[in-house]
Structure 1
Amino acid sequence: MPVKIAIVDDHTMMVQAIANLLNARDEFKVIFTCRNGRELTEKLTVLDQLPDLVLLDINMPLMNGWETAEWIQKNYPQMRILCLTMNDDEMSVIKMFKSGAKGYVLKDAEEDELFLAIHSVMTKGFYYSDYVAKVMIDSFKSEGIPGDSQMMSPLKEREIEFLVLCCTELNYKQIADLMHLSPKTIDGYRDDLFQKLHVRSRIGLVLHAIKHGLVQP
């Protein structure tokens, strides 16, 4: 069964191009398109066939992407959201994930990345490109407590990245996928941090990250 997709974007030519691109592949089927979030909310309440995934832009009239994602998350939590936008700033990325998106792709990305993102969101429940992962890690680090970063100095960069991701809802397998590492390597990071930080569980890792300002509680 193909993945049923709805596209929400106010750029008509872009929508048509994306729809043609996806419909050319057997594994995808664009079942409808909308020009903004308001139009999507109206369609979803009357249609018998619901999309599995919504490709969602951010900057739209009447109801923008963030508002739309929050509405979908509240009313159709089973529906996956993949943001497809030109917005490459940190605020847009973080706000969209907080609003309920499971993935984020820039419109100037290669076609294969879009296909990969859709498959990843539908099978793994998330998609983070290298760029988005870096934005999220940098954002977490920027929220640290001033003058407290030296307390984390014994940790390597990748260990800090792993520690921050432990504070998310991702399981260890998903963290391994995101960091492009094997589960065995992730197990090694976890065990090393248990020893270095004198903790015995993931909860201990999270508490340590909060205490030293890597993430906000």
Structure 2
Amino acid sequence: MNQSNTTSSVALVDDHTLFRKGIVELVNGFDNFEIIYEAEHGRQLQEIIDQGDVPEIILLDISMPIMDGFATAAWLRERYPDIKILILSMNDDEQTVIRMLKLGAKGYILKDADPIQLEEALNQLQKTGFYHTELISQALVNNIYNEAELQNQKKNFSDRELEFMKHASSELTYREIADKMCLSPRTIDGYRENLFEKLNVKSRVGLVLYAIKHKLVKVE
């Protein structure tokens, strides 16, 4: 249990009413934490905070209508960076975890976690400003591994080849790619044929699939 005499103000942002009511009762039963208000989505949270009700901690869902957790976290990072964000979500996808951490979340727990874990998370946020779980640790390790793999992949290609792959993954024709890269169509043909041979593919589709699979390009 938290032995501090300081009560931390908490806001809860989630679009499910029954879940909110349960969390409010739970958190208000913990030592030194009080939920001062609830919001159904990020837009409603904005309106409340901008009136001056700034909590120390925000329990934030991700999947919400009108303004989801990603947009809300980005807004909070820009306007209220001192607020500690703890994500409460059913989504355990590693890319989602990493994205939320990059947006400023200080902790991430799943909605089916034991209440004890939620209390521990709040205590750690209050004491240290962070709450690291096995889920976060594994996501970070895998992200670092993937980044290293990506860098190793990129070493196999020149900057011009990577630029060509990026344009080839769009709807541009080869002539338009040549214009974009300020090169002649013949030079572009050379890039294309060299990459086909290097990657052992026979078509632009094969080239694009390789680039996407190995995260050499991002599909918007």
Query: TM-score under structure 1 normalisation?
Result: 0.65
Q: Bigger radius of gyration, 1 or 2?
A: 2
Change (3 A) 1:23 1:146: closer
Change (3 A) 1:119 1:144: same
Matches for 1:38-77 after TM superposition, within 5 Å: 38-47=43-52, 49-77=53-81
Matches for 1:74-85 after TM superposition, within 5 Å: 74-85=78-89
Q: CA deviation at 1:15?
A: 0.5
2:146 is matched with 142
Change (3 A) 1:18 1:144: same
Q: CA deviation at 1:122?
A: 2.0
CA-to-partner distance for each residue in 1:138-175, whole Å, 9 max, x for gaps? Answer: 121022236959xxxxxxxxxxxxxxxxxxxxxxxxxx
Q: What letter is aligned with 1:145?
A: E
Is residue 35 from structure 1 mapped to residue 40 from structure 2 by the alignment?
A: yes
Change (3 A) 1:33 1:140: same
Provide the C-alpha distance between the structure 2 equivalents of 1:28 and 1:142, rounded to a whole number of angstroms.
Answer: 38
Contact persistence 2:30–2:119 (CA under 8 A): no
Query: TM-score under structure 2 normalisation?
Result: 0.64
SS class of match (2:131): coil
SS class of match (1:82): strand
1:89 is matched with 93
Provide the C-alpha distance between the structure 1 equivalents of 2:16 and 2:77, rounded to a whole number of angstroms.
Answer: 24
Provide the C-alpha distance between the structure 2 equivalents of 1:63 and 1:14, rounded to a whole number of angstroms.
Answer: 18
Instruction: Find 1:108's aligned residue among 109, 112, 118.
Output: 112
Contact persistence 1:67–1:99 (CA under 8 A): no
Provide the C-alpha distance between the structure 2 equivalents of 1:107 and 1:42, rounded to a whole number of angstroms.
Answer: 26
SS class of match (1:143): helix
1:6 is matched with 11
Instruction: Find 2:25's aligned residue among 20, 26, 45.
Output: 20
Provide structure 2 residue ranges, at least 5 long, that are not aligned to the other structure: 1-5, 154-220
Provide the C-alpha distance between the structure 2 equivalents of 1:115 and 1:95, rounded to a whole number of angstroms.
Answer: 24
Provide the C-alpha distance between the structure 2 equivalents of 1:102 and 1:146, rounded to a whole number of angstroms.
Answer: 26
Aligned-CA RMSD value: 1.7
Provide structure 1 residue ranges, at least 5 long, that are not aligned to the other structure: 150-217
Identity of aligned pairs, percent? 39
Provide the C-alpha distance between the structure 2 equivalents of 1:65 and 1:128, rounded to a whole number of angstroms.
Answer: 19
Q: What letter is aligned with 1:98?
A: K
